Amino acid sequence: MQNLYSEDDTRVKFIDAKLYDSSWNEENIKRNYYFTDGRKLLGGKRAQRKFADYLLRYEGNNLAIIEAKKFSKDPLDGLSQGIEYAKILNVPFVYSSNGEKIYEYDMRSHSGEYIDKFPSPKELFDRIFGNLKEWQYRLLTQKPMYIPQKELRYYQKIAIDKVIEAIINNKNRILLTLATGTGKTTIAFNLCYRLLEARWNKENKDQKPKILFLCDRVSLRDQALGEFNPIESDCKAISAEEIKKNDGKIITNANIFFGIYQSLAANSKEQENIQEEQESKFYLQYPKDFFDLIIIDECHRGGANEEGSWRAVLEYFSYATQLGLTATPKKEENIDTYEYFGESVYDYSLKSGIEDGFLTPYKVKLIKTTLSDGYTYNPDDLIQGELEKGFYKQSEFERNIFLPNYNDFIAKKILELINPMDKTIIFCVNQAHANEVKRAIDKYKSVKRDDYCVRVTSDEGKIGLDYLKLFQDNDKSYPVILTSSKMLTTGVDAKNVRNIVLLANIGSMVEFKQIIGRGTRVYEGKDFFTILDFVGATKLFYDPKWDGEKIEELKEQDEKEKITKEHIKQTKEESKEKKSVTIHLKGTKLKVLDITTTYVGAQGKPLSTKEFLEFLIGKLGEYYDDEAKLREIWSDQKNRERFLKALANDGVDEDALKDLREIFQKDCDIYDVLAHLSFNAEIKTRQERVLQVENGEFLKRFQKEKAIKFIEFLLGRYQQYGIKDFDDGLKPLIELSSLGNVRELADEFGGLEILKQSFDDLQREIYLN
């Protein structure tokens, strides 16, 4: 009798009943809790989503998950998966049950035991949180604002809960580390909403808190204000303009204040904002205990070190709880941030974002040209200025050595490699280089519009910012291409960016992660984005620090050379001593030597061709063990689709297989590539496979002329487009053939079933040997 109960039966008849007996009601139970979207695949498809059978909640807090097994199964069969999901969801308890037995596992003590019944919601809540003061309970149980279509993702809720937990434990400096594009401002908004509604403040008075939200750029401040729109009555911007309107007095009649701070780049020509220095002084006019919480957006961008522009602001407001938001995991170059705030209370990496389907995966095209490594003095070139004989590294381009022809060459190649209307950001060496690249793009663009390609740098001022807003508007087609340098590394919330072009060396992992983050935002119809690397900057993907995981131990600060003002001054002086040289290439030949395409592997890093082949061969062995089995899979349409989807779930999509086919033989079948890799089989072209069918016995089974013509038509389509042309079934192919409708053609074959069978048989015949 027990074997008759399916897993669904077990849930309804036994597990649900036991939950009800322990006072769990429907408000506290979430069944089939899907918490990821599934990695994005080609063609708008998704990999499998992760879900827990049950999520148990109480007072807005996730307390436990239940993994259900059918009545006849061992209840422990679901425990391993439950523990894996509990780690991801930051849930303290896991239950695994077959409806008869219940096994409880405590994630905190890493131990478990069989129990007679589920604990009640309050019992479980008290076990997790213990005795709470009234203000702690109020804060912990305050629910986020419900906004239709904007429900919090699982990691956003965890991030907020972790900050709340830190506040409850009286932690004064808190850090969150989440990859670019994962919604840090959304997290900040929901956190602030909960704090306001719970009326939390440092003095535990019955009043809403005062919160200061600090950004490093005007555009980021305005973007944050937009995110906080549902509670705009509580929000005010601190700016010279607003203070002027207030008769020169500081703004105090709000609960959330938005301002900007000077970053380390405040004196650089790359800095977007004009009045940060003046505005930062306004903060010092507030009482030191005015703010209860300060949120520092992009806190890694200078400030945590003793010379940082907002370190003084934080020290002045040391009474306040301080929350830093960063996209960059701990490493040597931003050690100051972690020394100031301490270890991050929660991390969510780019790798996790891509795997969960909340960020878009990428592929890398590394373009090697005759000047990728540098320039060798050539007397046949036209040289304006003094240039000694020798070799000049590529890193000197556009700083001391200017190559107008090379910029033209690069611009032309970029336009060849991208779709004309795909939104693209080109990162250049500096503002002057951005202008030069725009000039070159304009020279070769096929879309003749003034705003097709624009420069967005600090020198452009409001004009550049207006172009940036249009670029970020997904309903606007123009501008298509932005050229910039440092300004667009942060603060660009453009979901439909399809290409990131690297024309400047990137020495900082922090900056590299931010630049890559410009393309990771999810947008409908965007299955991946492409990084076009002309300078070898993507070598940073292979740095051990790339993967986004925490580095627990770092060298002491005194072991690391510090970049001081003296170093910067010295570098600037040395740069001034070098005279600029313009070289018009006459003798030096420009050409592309190689374009290497790589895809993201399971570890979030691009795989080399060798690594990809090794990975693919290993995966293929999990699906078939001889060529006959591969042929059986590939020659059946449904089996083929299931196989390709499974491969895509493992990180090998059709686009990668097509690129691999280009390496072996462009006009062959993907089947032949797979058979060659797995069994060293001879690679046949699609034409050879068509001839094989035409010269065999298959066509002889058909008597009527239209039936033969249709089979020949199908073979022609296969030869030209491959077997994927058959994936949509018979009907569209019949319409394309102009040989009649489905019923008329079915009559030529002797009936609809024979027509369908002939279609299936043809696919088997193509791969007969």
Query: Where is the domain boundary, 99, 129, 159?
Result: 129
The residue among 557 and 526 whose pLDDT is bigger is 526
What integer is the mean pLDDT of 369-393? Answer: 86
Confidence of residue 641 (pLDDT cuts 50, 70, 90): confident
In a domain, 383, yes or no: yes
Beta bridge partners of 499: 424, 530
Given this model, what pLDDT does residue 508 score?
Answer: 74
Structure confidence by residue, pLDDT tens digits, 69-96: 888 888 898 899 999 999 999 999 999 9
DSSP codes of every residue in 5-39: --HHHHIIIIIHHHHHHTT--GGGEEEEEE-----
Tell me the pTM: 0.74
Residue that is written with structure tokens 């990180």 in the block: 651
Residue whose C-alpha is closest to residue 286's, from 315, 321, 242, 316: 316
Q: Dump the DSSP string for 627-688.
A: HHHHHHHHTSHHHHHHHHHHHHHTT--HHHHHHHHHHH-TTB-HHHHHHHHHH-PPP-BHHH
Q: Which pLDDT does position 600 carry in this prediction?
A: 66
Looking at residue 728, its pLDDT comes to 84
Backbone Cα Rg of the chain: 31
Contact, 726 vs 718, CB < 8 A? yes
Helix (H) or strand (E) holding 565: helix 565-577
Residue 695 sits in the same domain as residue 679 = no
Question: At 520, is the pLDDT very low, low, confident or very high (cuts 50, 70, 90)?
Answer: confident
Place of tokens 């986004």: 548
- Is residue 326 very low, low, confident or very high in pLDDT (cuts 50, 70, 90)? confident
Structure tokens that stand for 227 in this block: 């995110």
> What's the mean per-residue pLDDT of the chain?
82
Same domain, 277 and 416: no
The per-residue pLDDT for 2 is 56
* Residue 564 pLDDT > 60: no
In a domain, 80, yes or no: yes
The secondary structure element, H or E, covering residue 737 is helix 730-737
Please check the confidence at residue 262 and state whether its pLDDT lies above 70: no
pLDDT, one tens digit per residue, over 682-710 is 888 999 999 999 998 899 888 898 999 99
Q: Residue 368 pLDDT > 70, yes or no?
A: yes
CA-to-CA distance for 621 and 67, rounded, in angstroms? Answer: 30
Which residues does 756 contact at the CB level (< 8 Å), separation at least 6?
730
CATH assignment of the domain containing 223 = 3.40.50.300
- Comparing 123 with 664, the larger pLDDT belongs to 123
Residue 217 token pair: 């750029």
Q: Is residue 599 part of a domain?
A: no
Contact call for residues 326 and 7 (beta carbons, < 8 A): no
Task: Return d(Cα 708, Cα 706) in angstroms, integer.
Answer: 5
Which pLDDT score, from 0 to 100, does residue 414 have? 93
Lowest mean pLDDT among 60-74, 99-113, 236-250, 668-682: 236-250
The answer on 253 and 148 residing in a single domain is yes
Q: How far is CA 62 from CA 33, 129, 140, 161, 672, in A?
A: 11, 12, 11, 10, 50
The more confident residue out of 198 and 618 is 198
What is the model's pLDDT at position 566? Answer: 38
> At 293, which helix (H) or strand (E)?
strand 293-296
Least confident of 40-54, 155-169, 312-326: 40-54
Beta bridge partners of 425: 482, 500
Could you report the per-residue pLDDT of 222-244, keeping only the tens digit for each? 778 888 888 888 888 877 777 77
Percent of the chain with pLDDT over 90: 33
Indicate the range of 398-402, 506-510, 544-548 predicted with least confidence.
544-548
Decide if 207 is inside a domain: yes
In terms of domains, do 308 and 178 share one? yes
Looking at the fold, whether 680 and 700 belong to one and the same domain comes out as: no
Question: Which residue bears the tokens 């003798």?
Answer: 587
Model confidence at 278, pLDDT cuts 50, 70, 90, reads very low
Q: Is the pLDDT of residue 364 over 90?
A: no
Residue 329: pLDDT band with limits 50, 70, 90: low
At 59, the pLDDT band (50, 70, 90 cuts) reads very high
SS3 per residue for 608-629: CHHHHHHHHHHHHCCCCCCHHH
- Looking at the structure of the chain, the number of domains it has is 5
Is 468 found in the same domain as 445?
A: yes
Digit-coded pLDDT (tens) for 538-547 = 887 776 665 5
pLDDT of residue 304: 47
Name 766's Cβ contacts closer than 8 Å, sequence gap at least 6: 635, 689, 690, 692, 693, 718, 723
* Cα separation, 372 vs 233, whole angstroms: 54
Ramachandran bin of 607, using left for φ above 0, alpha for ψ from -120 to 50, beta for the remaining angles: beta
Determine the pLDDT at residue 47: 78
What number is the average pLDDT over the span 627-647? Answer: 88
Q: Distance between CA 662 and CA 141 in Å, rounded? A: 57
Label residue 452 by pLDDT band (50, 70, 90).
very high
Residue 142 · residue 198 · CB < 8 Å: yes
Number of Cα atoms under 13 Å in the Cβ half of residue 750 = 8
* Cα 119 from Cα 70, distance rounded (Å): 21
Q: Are residues 485 and 500 in the same domain?
A: yes
The answer to whether 619 and 630 are in contact (CB under 8 A) is no
Q: What is the 3-state secondary structure (H, E, C) of 121-156?
A: HHHHHHHHHCCCCHHHHHHHCCCCCCCCCCCCCHHH
Two structure tokens written together for 86: 């509990």
pLDDT for the residue 556: 30
How many C-beta neighbours within 10 Å does residue 348 have?
27
Let me know whether 106 and 170 are in one domain.
no
**Does residue 709 share a domain with residue 670?**
no
H/E run at residue 89: helix 79-89
DSSP 265: T
* Tokens matching residue 752: 């609809």
- Determine the Cα angle at 332 with ends 326 and 338, to 5°: 45
Query: Of how many residues is the chain composed?
Result: 769
Quick one: tokens of 184? 């840090």
Give the pLDDT of residue 277.
40
More confident site: 356 or 544: 356
The residue range of the domain holding 554 is: 362-584
Q: How many CB atoms lie within 10 A of CB 335?
A: 18
Residue 598 is assigned to a structural domain of this protein: no
DSSP state of 355: H
Q: pLDDT-derived band of residue 117, with 50, 70 and 90 as boundaries?
A: very high
Provide the strand spans (E) within 321-478: 321-326, 346-348, 362-369, 374-376, 382-384, 391-393, 401-402, 423-427, 453-455
Is 149 part of any domain?
Answer: yes
Q: Are residues 677 and 694 in the same domain?
A: no
Q: Express each pLDDT in 453-470 by its tens digit.
A: 999 887 777 888 888 888
Average pLDDT over residues 745-749: 89
Region 405-427: mean pLDDT is: 92
One domain, residues 162 and 285: yes
* Residue 210: band (very low, low, confident or very high) from pLDDT cuts 50, 70, 90: very high
pLDDT at 425 over 70: yes
Can you tell me the distance from the alpha carbon of 442 to that of 448, in angstroms, rounded to the nearest whole number?
A: 8
3-state secondary structure of 762: helix
Residue type, 119: P
Q: What Å distances lie between residue 134 and 139, 164, 208, CA to CA?
A: 9, 14, 16
Residue 601 located in a structural domain: no
- Res. 268: pLDDT tops 70: no
CATH of the domain at 6: 3.90.1570.30
Residues 390-399 have a mean pLDDT of 85
pLDDT for the residue numbered 409: 92
- Same domain for 424 and 459, yes or no, is yes
The C-alpha angle 729, 733, 738, rounded to 5 degrees, equals 155
pLDDT-derived band at 604, boundaries 50, 70, 90: low
Burial string for 179-207 (b: 16+ CB within 10 Å, else e) reads: bbbbbbbbbbbbbbbbbbbbbbbbeeeee
**SS3 category, 497:** strand
The helix/strand count (H/E) of the chain reads as 28, 25
Predicted pLDDT at 552: 33
Going by C-alpha positions, the residue among 656, 653, 651, 657 that lies closest to residue 669 is: 657
629, 659, 684 - which closes a domain: 684
At residue 517, the 3 state secondary structure works out as helix
Reported as a single tens digit per residue, the pLDDT across 43-57 is 677 778 999 999 999
Cα gap 104→113, rounded to integer Å: 6
591 within a domain of the structure (yes/no):
no
Residue 217 has pLDDT above 80, yes or no: no
pLDDT for 467 equals: 85
Domain boundary residue, one of 629, 653, 684: 684
Retrieve residue 569's tokens.
């001054």
Residue 332 pLDDT > 70, yes or no? Answer: no
Q: What percent of the chain has pLDDT over 70?
A: 86
Look up residue 17 and give its two tokens. 């009943």
Cβ-contact 362, 524 below 8 angstroms: no
* CB count in 10 Å sphere of residue 163: 25
Confidence class for position 565, pLDDT limits 50, 70, 90? very low
Task: Give the per-residue pLDDT at 21.
Answer: 93
Instruction: Give the model's pLDDT for residue 273.
Output: 41
